């Protein structure tokens, strides 16, 4: 046996997953509370003890960790035009696994600086202007940031002509200059900023109080949890090469939904551009091949009212078969008692409707749209965002969903809807459920043993979402 331990320090729970590299089996999973206030190693030790109760003692040959504890990687970004550099900066941060606490466009004001100070981000991403383009905005914003009372590293990824000048204005702070997130108009270049963000995350956040003590217990804290999730999804979609040169196939383009208590994350792995030959023109920034969106107002408990607002009480009532008044009452209760899990048919029905509403809303926001144009020689289409209609695989994960019944039905809320035909959602798909909740762990493992991680995922993801 060659056991490896994979650790996910979450904001509430520390989750551990053990796999055997030799048999490529999942040995077991377990969890305990995250103990960042005292010593994060305590919760970890407890989780491992619980795991070993099930598996027997394990001699781990390696221990890898990802983390979203202590609020995760909290970032604020600024750009110039909302749909251009500000959007590019947001994409870069989301793709680096950050929790975005603010996106600013145009010139920062004194009020904005107060808000930024109050938020005290882990990293600030400063962008604006294409290379050789607008300089005034990023220079102004660097001046404004220099007046912040709180200290945080600033990554400068804007107009290269003034990157140095911006850095000088921020003297005394930790500043990193990387390539522009939008070097040319319409070109998205987010990798350099992401690499730097990850580097700072590892160095600074991981060295923070509470983590250092765990250092001896783990070999490597590799990345923020959402990045691990993105790596798992990319591997699952694309497949990888085995050491003998043969190909371990993936399952193809996919969409993953992760419905949590506070937020709903959506991941898509696909090109999503208009297919050649169609008379569709693409507008806006090119979309990242691996795209992550986070809906901060959509979640099963803390953000339960956001779901209700987005889909309407009528939708929830109709899907759950519970009268609207009663729905409102139950939703208020769950919003206040976030630990409550469904125990009877009524609360199960409500969670079913809520989860459907969460997925419907979050996937609609993630997906691109078509707009129809009547021109004198017929209809033309304009596409913004990613076209997900050809995606045939949907992965369902997240504490709130993997234990639900009728997961397949819930996931079908992600489908293309004839009522809203211009929202480019998958037309049909197989639903895979992450019942053993191992995706982030497999993303971690993929950095070292991709073939093993992929085979375990293919084995453990269950197409059992259709059972009632």
Partner 1 sequence: MEKKTLVLGVIGADVHAVGVSILNRAFLDAGFDVVNLGVMVSQEEFISAAIETGADAIMVSSLYGQGELDCRGLREKCDEAGLKGILLYVGGNIVIGKHEFSEVEKRFKDMGFDRAFPPGTDPQTTIDCLKEDFHLN
Is the Cβ of residue 216 or residue 375 nearer to ligand B12 in the bound state?
Answer: 375
Shortest reach from residue 275's CB to partner 1, in Å: 18
Give the range of 1-9, 289-297, 352-360, 376-384 binding partner 1 by CB under 8 A: 376-384
Backbone φ and ψ for 453, nearest 5 degrees, come out as: -60, -40
Q: Looking at 3, 133, 250, 274, which residue binds partner 1 (CB under 8 A)?
A: 133
Q: Is 379 in the site for ligand B12 (CB under 6 A)?
A: no
DSSP 73: S
The answer to whether 432 touches 236, Cβ cutoff 8 Å, is no
Is the Cβ of residue 374 or residue 419 nearer to ligand B12 in the bound state?
Answer: 374
Q: Looking at 377, 379, 419, 468, which residue binds ligand B12 (CB under 6 A)?
A: 377
Pairing of β 254-259 and β 393-397 = parallel
Is the Cβ of residue 33 or residue 373 nearer to ligand B12 in the bound state?
Answer: 373
Cβ–Cβ contacts within 10 Å for residue 53, how many?
11
Give the range of 137-145, 206-214, 372-380, 424-432 binding ligand B12 by CB under 6 A: 372-380
Pairing of β 74-78 and β 99-104 = parallel
The answer to whether 417 touches 408, Cβ cutoff 8 Å, is no
DSSP 343-393: -SHHHHHHHHHHHHHHHHHHHHHHB-EEEEEEETTEEEEEEESB--TT--E
Shortest reach from residue 280's CB to ligand B12, in Å: 13
Residue 422 contact partner, candidates ligand B12, partner 1, none, CB within 5 to 8 A by sort of partner: none
Residues that contact partner 1, how many (by CB under 8 A): 23
**Which string of b and e fits 326-357 if b means at least 16 CB within 10 Å?**
ebbebbeebeeeeeeebeeeebbbbbbbbbbb
Q: Looking at 203, 213, 275, 283, which residue binds partner 1 (CB under 8 A)?
A: 283
SS3 assignment, position 76: strand
Give the range of 19-27, 334-342, 372-380, 440-448 binding partner 1 by CB under 8 A: 372-380
Q: Is 277 in the site for ligand B12 (CB under 6 A)?
A: no
Q: Is 299 in the site for partner 1 (CB under 8 A)?
A: no
Shortest reach from residue 357's CB to ligand B12, in Å: 39
Q: Looking at 44, 65, 80, 222, which residue binds partner 1 (CB under 8 A)?
A: 80
SS3 assignment, position 127: coil
Q: Is 120 exposed, middle or buried (0-12, 13-18, 19+ CB in 10 A)?
A: middle
Residues that contact ligand B12, how many (by CB under 6 A): 3
199: CB partners within 8 A, 6+ apart? none
Q: Is 374 in the site for ligand B12 (CB under 6 A)?
A: no
How far apart CA 314 and CA 316 sit, in angstroms, is: 5
How far apart CA 98 and CA 72 sit, in angstroms, is: 7
Shortest reach from residue 371's CB to ligand B12, in Å: 14
Is the Cβ of residue 208 or residue 281 nearer to ligand B12 in the bound state?
Answer: 281
- Which residues are near ligand B12 by CB under 6 A? 375-377
Residues that bind partner 1 (CB under 8 A): 80-81, 83-85, 128-130, 132-135, 182, 185-186, 281, 283, 373-376, 380, 382
């Amino acid at each position: 046996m060659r056991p490896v331990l994979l650790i996910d320090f979450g904001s509430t729970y520390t989750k551990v997953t053990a796999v055997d590299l030799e048999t490529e089996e999942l040995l077991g999973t377990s969890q305990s509370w995250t103990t960042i206030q005292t010593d994060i190693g305590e919760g970890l030790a407890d989780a491992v003890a619980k795991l070993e109760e099930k598996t027997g003692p394990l001699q781990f040959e390696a221990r890898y960790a990802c983390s979203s504890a202590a609020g995760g990687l909290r970032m604020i970004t600024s750009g110039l035009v909302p749909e251009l550099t500000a959007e590019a900066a947001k994409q870069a941060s989301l793709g680096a696994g950050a929790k975005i606490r603010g996106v600013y466009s145009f010139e920062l004001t004194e009020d904005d600086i107060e808000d930024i100070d109050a938020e005290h981000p882990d990293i600030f991403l400063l962008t604006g202007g294409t290379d050789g383009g607008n300089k005034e905005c990023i220079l102004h914003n660097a001046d404004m940031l220099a007046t912040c009372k709180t200290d945080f590293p600033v990554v400068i990824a804007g107009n290269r002509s003034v990157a140095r000048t911006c850095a000088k204005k921020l003297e005394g702070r930790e500043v990193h200059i990387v390539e522009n997130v939008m070097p040319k108009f319409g070109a998205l270049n987010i990798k350099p900023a992401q690499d730097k963000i990850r580097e700072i995350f590892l160095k600074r956040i991981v060295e923070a109080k509470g983590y250092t003590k765990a250092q001896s217990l783990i070999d490597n804290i590799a990345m923020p949890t959402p990045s691990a999730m993105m790596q798992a999804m990319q591997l699952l979609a694309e497949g990888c090469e085995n050491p003998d040169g043969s190909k371990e196939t993936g399952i193809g383009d996919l969409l993953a939904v992760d419905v949590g208590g506070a937020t709903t994350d959506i991941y898509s792995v696909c090109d999503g551009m208009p297919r050649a030959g169609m008379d569709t023109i693409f507008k806006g920034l090119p979309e990242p091949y691996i795209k992550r969106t986070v809906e901060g107002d959509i979640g099963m408990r803390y953000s339960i009212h956001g779901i209700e607002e987005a889909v309407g009480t009528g939708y929830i009532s109709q899907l759950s078969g519970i009268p609207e008044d009663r729905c409102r009452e139950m939703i208020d209760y769950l919003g206040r008692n976030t630990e409550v899990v469904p125990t009877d048919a009524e609360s199960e029905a409500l969670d079913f409707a809520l989860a459907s509403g969460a997925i419907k809303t979050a996937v609609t926001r993630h997906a691109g749209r078509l707009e129809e144009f009547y021109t004198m020689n017929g209809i033309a289409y304009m596409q913004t965002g990613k076209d997900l209609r050809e995606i045939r695989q949907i992965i369902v994960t997240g504490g709130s969903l993997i234990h639900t019944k009728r997961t397949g039905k819930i996931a079908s809320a992600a489908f293309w809807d004839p009522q809203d035909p211009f929202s480019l959602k998958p037309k049909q798909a197989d639903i895979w459920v992450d019942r053993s909740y191992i995706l982030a762990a497999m993303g971690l493992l993929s950095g070292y043993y991709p073939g093993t991680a992929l085979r375990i995922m293919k084995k453990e993801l269950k197409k059992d979402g259709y059972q009632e």
